[in-house]
Structures are given as structure tokens and as C-alpha cells.
Amino acid sequence: MNETGNDAASIADRHARYPDAQIRAILNSTRTIALVGASANPARPSWIVLKYLIDRGYAVIPVNPGLAGQDLLGRRVAGSLAEVQGSLGGQPIDMVEIFRNAAAAGPLVDEALALDPLPKVIWMQLGVRDDAAAARAEARGLTVIMNRCPKIEYGRLSGEIGWTGVNSRILSARKPVLAGRGVQKLTIAERGRRGD
């Protein structure tokens, strides 16, 4: 097999499944999220994910050129990733979450790779996968997650997703850790440990 074929197979293998520890580490270390493709429609998945992540304490900046300058869930909508980066005063965006179709993922990854400093994580939503874009980002030292939803992953790792009858694939006799605020919010801290 040629070198390109090996690279493609390697990317496909690396992104076929993500260890829970990796997802947990990303969600624990992330504070600032640029959510590209945010919608003002409360029935849209991007609005639901935006609200959920805000409610879990993340600093989420919605990005949508069509809504730029408006407020969405108390957050000012940015028109581009460069605008988000400029508003952070030199601090990097922890995660760029791509809530657009797979055809738009490559150009958005390239936009993220043009930022200085670089973001730490590129996260592509469910159904969004671009192996070539992932390879470009990984070559620059970024972590890439594809075809996953941070809301679902947070809910699965915390145990919240089980409240709706969804199998979290996590069996544990250890008690989940409640968040310090809110009603029925769990954290993604290791079960049975308190992160004060």
C-alpha cells in the first residue's frame, strides 16, 4: 500500500473510536468553545448543544456569520473564528466545535489553523468527518475528534444520559459526582471522587 493509503488507514483507525479517558480529559481541560454553526432556532440541535454546554459552565461563543452581532442565549454571536480569537485577548480557543456539514469542515479547519495561537481541539459534530482536514490539524499538533457530540459525550460520561433511558455503556457501583449548582446536574469527574 502506498504512503497515502497508509496515512488514510491510520487516520481512519485512530478516529474509529475514542477512549473515554481521552474524551473526559478534553472536556475537563476545555473552558472556551467556539461553536461554529450556532442557530437561533431552539428546535435546532446546535441551539440545544449550545445551551447544554453553557449550563455546564463552558464559555461558549456562538459563531454564525448570518447572526453576527446578535445575542444568543446571552452570548454575542461572532462572525468568524478570527473574531472569536480577537475577543479572547491573546488566549487560545480551547475547542472549535464544527456544527456544519462535512463539506464545510475542511475550510473551517483551515480557518482554525490560521489562528494565532492555535486552538487545542477541533471537534466535529455527529455525522461530520473529514479525514484530510483531521490530518492537517493533527500535523500542527491539534487534537481532533470527529463524528461525536460533546453534549452526548458529557451526558454519557456523567451518567445524565441514562436519565432518558439511553445506555451510557458505563457500569459502575460508584456514585456519580453532583455539580455544585443546579438541579440534577452531574459532572464528568471520576465516579466516587469529589473534585472540590
pTM, two decimals, is 0.82
pLDDT range class, residue 166, cuts 50, 70, 90 = low
Which residue do the cell numbers 441551539 mark? Answer: 47
Measured at the alpha carbon of residue 163, what is the angle toward residues 15 and 25, in degrees to the nearest 5? 35
- Helix or strand or coil: residue 177? coil
Alpha carbon distance 41, 38 (integer Å): 9
Q: What is the number of residues in the chain? A: 196
Q: What is the pLDDT of residue 196?
A: 42
Cis peptide before 117, with omega less than 30 degrees from 0?
Answer: yes
pLDDT digits (tens, 9 = 90+) for 7-46: 767 887 889 899 999 999 999 999 999 999 999 999 999 9
List, edge to edge, every strand of the sheet that includes 143-145: 59-63, 32-36, 95-98, 121-124, 143-145
Q: What is the DSSP letter of 92?
A: P
Q: What is the pLDDT of residue 138?
A: 96
Taking a C-beta distance cutoff of 8 angstroms, is the pair 40, 67 a contact? yes
Mean pLDDT for 161-189 is: 60
Which residue do the cell numbers 453534549 mark? Answer: 151
Q: What is the DSSP letter of 179?
A: P
Q: What is the pLDDT of residue 163?
A: 59
Q: What is the pLDDT of residue 158?
A: 85
